[in-house]
A = this chain, B = another copy of it.
Amino acid sequence: MAVRFTVEARDAGTSARAGVLATERGSFRTPAFMPVGTAATVKGVWPDQLREMGYGCILGNTYHLYLRPGPERVRGQGGLHRFMGWDRLILTDSGGFQVFSLSALRKVTDEAVTFRSHIDGSLHALTPEVAVAVQEALGSDLRMVLDECVEYPAERKEVEEAVRRTTLWAQRSLAAATGTRGGMFGIVQGGMHADLRVRSAEEICSLPFQGFAVGGVSVGEGKELQRETVALTVPLLPAEKPRYLMGVGTPEDILFAVTRGVDLFDCVLPTRNARNGMMFTSTGPLSIKQARYADDPLPPDPRCDCPTCRSFSRAYLRHLYLQREMLASMAMTVHNLRYYARLMERAREAISRGSFGELVKESAISGVQ
């Protein structure tokens, strides 16, 4: 396994850092946002458009791909990259998060998570070894260990048990790995309990992973608790390895986490919100369904350089949205993803200049969220 991570710049006033994450397949600059491509497609977007927007890594959901079309089918097509026509990097999760959030009748033991498919009710057992094998069949570049993610709120005892099991599974995952390209990330759990976060970080970070993730946030704990947990956990992760905050989040949440030294992010927010008619703009969120936009000739964000803002008005996008035309989702997804890509570009530039704190302040003032 080979992931090379180089920190190229450190911010002056915060713990933010800018770097490059490289694997055999290629490299991309961090801090970076990874669009979510659940079922081997980022919904409504052509792979070429993701490249043009500047994305170097996208995320695939192992749970969905495991159920449909199945890892062996993807392997038979030459792997996920070739299957979906994407030649840059792919990070896959372990499938665990969706098992916990989507499937029915799940039962967790040290051996496995047993669950029923949310599609057809079929019975499956996900073990750390299966999660590794499925991700290796998919051929992703960055692979996540199976962990136990606990909802919020939860009993301390339950969180403690999840920390223990997550470490056990992390060890088994490393033992099961046969892939030699890219690398595997460990995940720190511990809920909102400081001592359990410390314990989990110590255990996970002592293992030879290529990167480390903060898991178990964005599970209903709210913004303040999330920030506290991020602020506490991130400094516990090795500084020389990439750090990934899973499932976060809003532009504001991302900028905060970058100040604490996080390098990687993923979230469905830009893509899902786009399909619901909500766009991120330099002056705050814009809900296209509002009547005030019916005759508005301006682009969604006059300061944006995306294909949507170059060609389409708010009036047109509102019409498409109300008519449920595919182009509504397509165009607003491209806009939101370009917004996120540009946010990360600006973050990297500001860190390189040593003035990332100013960007965070400006963003707060201009209502970015």
Contacts and interface: CB of A to CB of B under 8 A. Distances in A.
A294 B76 CA distance: 11
Interface string A47-85: 110000000000000000000110001001110000111
Given A76-B295, A294-B73, A47 B311 contact: yes
Interface in A201-250: none
Nearest to A326: B44
Most buried by B among A39, A78, A327: A327
Interface stretch (A110-118, A126-134, A147-155, A314-322): A314-322
A313 B44 contact: no
Given A48-B307, A73-B295, A297-B77, A83 B315 contact: yes
A350 to B, nearest CB: 32
A180 B78 CA distance: 57
A122 to B, nearest CB: 16
A85 B312 contact: yes
Contact of A311 (B78, B85, B316): B85
Contacts of A40: 316, 319-320
A330 interface: yes
Contacts of A331: 46
A322 B68 contact: yes
Nearest to A42: B327
A307 B85 CA distance: 11
Contacts of A83: 313, 315-316, 319
A336 interface: no
A106 interface: no
A44 B327 contact: yes
B73 A327 contact: no
A83 B318 CA distance: 11
A269 B121 CA distance: 37
A103 interface: no
Among all A-B residue pairs, the 10 with the closest Cβ atoms: A85-B311, A44-B326, A69-B319, A41-B327, A39-B323, A41-B325, A83-B316, A77-B315, A85-B312, A76-B295
26 contacts: A39-B319, A39-B325, A40-B319, A41-B320, A41-B326, A41-B327, A43-B325, A43-B326, A44-B326, A44-B330, A46-B331, A47-B311, A48-B307, A48-B311, A68-B319, A68-B323, A69-B319, A73-B315, A76-B295, A77-B295, A77-B316, A78-B297, A84-B316, A85-B311, A85-B312, A330-B330
